Amino acid sequence: MSHQKSTLGEFIIKNQSSFPYSSGELSSLLNALRLAAKVVNHEVNKAGLVDIFGDSGDVNVQGEHQQKLDVFANKTFIQSLKNRDIVCGIVSEENDEFITIEGQDKKSNGKYVVLMDPLDGSSNIDVNVSVGTIFSIFRRITPQGTPVEAKDFLQPGRKQVAAGYVVYGTSTMLVYTTGDGVNGFTLNPAIGSFYLSHPDMKFPKKGNIYSVNEGNYGHFPEPVKKYIKYCQQVEEDRPYSHRYIGSLVSDFHRNMIKGGIYLYPNSTVNKEGKLRLLYECNPIAFLTEQADGIATNGQQDIMDVIPTDIHERAAFYCGSSSMIKKLQEFIEN
């Protein structure tokens, strides 16, 4: 290597000045997430060898069976965030209610709230397919020192100060934005450090991949069905390739690098959509827009939606701008 790539820690410190209101807390918060990601990565990589593999027997708030690794990831991220007096509250896919975090003085002094899906795509764990962690960070609305309230979490995605994901795959990557572009860092497991491997990530303007669970085609709205047929037509630039892993992080990560569109429409089965607005759609939408893509629910930009419930669901489409615009033509007609 001709020049030393910067580590995630160095990159965070160097770019601290680009955070609005920064006094080091957001850097420390990102470092807490980085640390938890390394611990979870270690467990994910040995999941096949130990009893952490498989189903915990519990069902989470979403009615989905919790894999043991989900529970482990949830505890790890919560503990890592609690250890630094920066976060006043957490919303997790695995917990029914939001979690209030108090300092030693029994006050919620933290400036930030974190919303997360600690292990996205966890049904894939048993078959050794990539899974991920998604996170979204907001500044609280309520005054510091007072208990955190629901309204601190129910902010539109536009108010996010940072968002990102970790993909635990053939290599482990942490990808995040603070509203100043998207950067990807790959873990060197020998040293335990994340190195900047994908600076300033952008969606290719045109893509040729569409990602959707086509098994649900019969339940989709008519415009989405028509768009899928359009993707399959034989033209000079089509048919597009259909690629679907069933882990939002993995599908999104591939599409951002190669160019593509991800579709999870509302349907006759999931009237509101299936993905969660606050800790799946919003953070991925923030990354999408920062990478020159578009993220929408079909009617408006996802980040303009005003949430009403911490586990609210939404229809979700994101990807290369030309592909989303084409989809929007079908929806508008």
The reply to whether 17 sits in an annotated binding site is no
The reply to whether 33 sits in an annotated binding site is no
The encoded tokens of residue 279 equal 């800790």
Q: Report the relative pairing of strands 316-320 and 87-92 from DSSP bridges.
A: unpaired
The reply to whether 244 sits in an annotated binding site is yes
The reply to whether 74 sits in an annotated binding site is no
The reply to whether 262 sits in an annotated binding site is yes
The reply to whether 180 sits in an annotated binding site is no
Q: What are phi and psi of 181, to 5 degrees?
A: 90, 175
The reply to whether 122 sits in an annotated binding site is yes
The reply to whether 112 sits in an annotated binding site is no
Gap between the Cα atoms of 110 and 28, Å rounded? 12
Cβ-Cβ contacts under 8 Å for 9 (sequence gap 6 or more): 31, 34, 193, 194
The encoded tokens of residue 247 equal 């882990």
The reply to whether 117 sits in an annotated binding site is yes
The reply to whether 264 sits in an annotated binding site is yes
Gap between the Cα atoms of 52 and 47, Å rounded? 6
Dihedral sign computed on CA atoms, order 208, 210, 214, 219 = negative
The reply to whether 197 sits in an annotated binding site is no
The reply to whether 317 sits in an annotated binding site is no
Gap between the Cα atoms of 120 and 133, Å rounded? 6
Cα–Cα nearest to 297, from 317, 320, 278: 317
Residue ranges of the binding site for substrate: 120-123, 213, 244, 262-264, 274
- Which residues sit in the known binding site for Mg(2+)? 93, 117, 119-120, 280
Annotated binding site: 93, 117, 119-123, 213, 244, 262-264, 274, 280
